[in-house]
Amino acid sequence: MSWGKLLQPDLVLGGTVLDITPDLLVEHNLKGLVFDVDETLVPIGQMQASEELHQRIIELRQVATLWLVSNNVSETRIGNIAKSLELPYIFFAAKPFRRKLWRAVSAMDLPVAQVAMVGDRLFTDVLAGNRMGMFTVLVEPMVDPGEAVRYSPVRSVEVWLSQVLGASLTANR
């Protein structure tokens, strides 16, 4: 598989994780979601999820099995977020390596094609999910509303390189 295909999300949401709805899951025949944590669910460094996210997780839990899989090495931080959302989690996942991601998908007991990897990063979340045959969803980063617009040079380079390699990152939802 070419790098362009490995970095191509199945769905470019064009919004944050809060824009994922139960209807969207039904539309794409998804029964499970694996969420990245940092900047996908919560702004980097934040210790808890917003009330808005809590409500969205409650809605999504009605139609899908949910897991958190984070590259963050802080079990305390990721564990606290997971506990507050009442979700199982894996920290220090080392995405785009697949080993720990497989553990979450296996625990769901669903066909891998019915599980989506949801994240804000191409070279970790999308790449790992595509390498496993998962449906991949790229979301806009969740940033602290009190912060000025945050520029992420790493994300900018990822987007540029992905496009050079043939991935289309135009929002398709």
Q: What is the CATH number of the domain that holds 38?
A: 3.40.50.1000
| Tens of pLDDT, residues 104-117 | 999 999 999 999 99
The answer to whether the CB of 47 falls within 8 A of the CB of 76 is no
Q: What is the pLDDT of residue 157?
A: 75
In a domain, 88, yes or no: yes
| Tens of pLDDT, residues 8-48 | 999 999 999 999 999 999 999 999 999 999 999 999 889 99
In a domain, 169, yes or no: no
90 - beta bridge partners?
69
Domain holding 54, by residue range, is 3-164
Q: From the CB of residue 169, how many other CB atoms can be counted at a distance below 10 Å?
A: 18
- Alpha-carbon distances of 79 from 50, 74, 82, 90, rounded to whole Å: 16, 8, 5, 8
Across the range 120-131, mean pLDDT stands at: 96
In a domain, 78, yes or no: yes
| Tens of pLDDT, residues 68-81 | 999 999 999 999 99
Domain count of the fold of the chain? 1
Structure tokens at 166: 């043939």
> What band does 166 get if pLDDT is binned at 50, 70 and 90?
confident
In a domain, 173, yes or no: no
Residue 138's SS3 state is strand
In a domain, 172, yes or no: no
Mean pLDDT rounded to a whole number for the chain = 91
In a domain, 87, yes or no: yes
Task: Give the contacts of 28 (CB within 8 A, at least 6 positions apart).
Answer: 10, 11, 116, 135
> What band does 147 get if pLDDT is binned at 50, 70 and 90?
low
Q: What is the pLDDT of residue 6?
A: 93
Residue 139's SS3 state is coil
In a domain, 170, yes or no: no
Q: Beta strand 65-69 with 89-90: parallel, antiparallel or unpaired?
A: parallel
Question: Of residues 122 and 160, which shows the higher confidence score?
Answer: 122
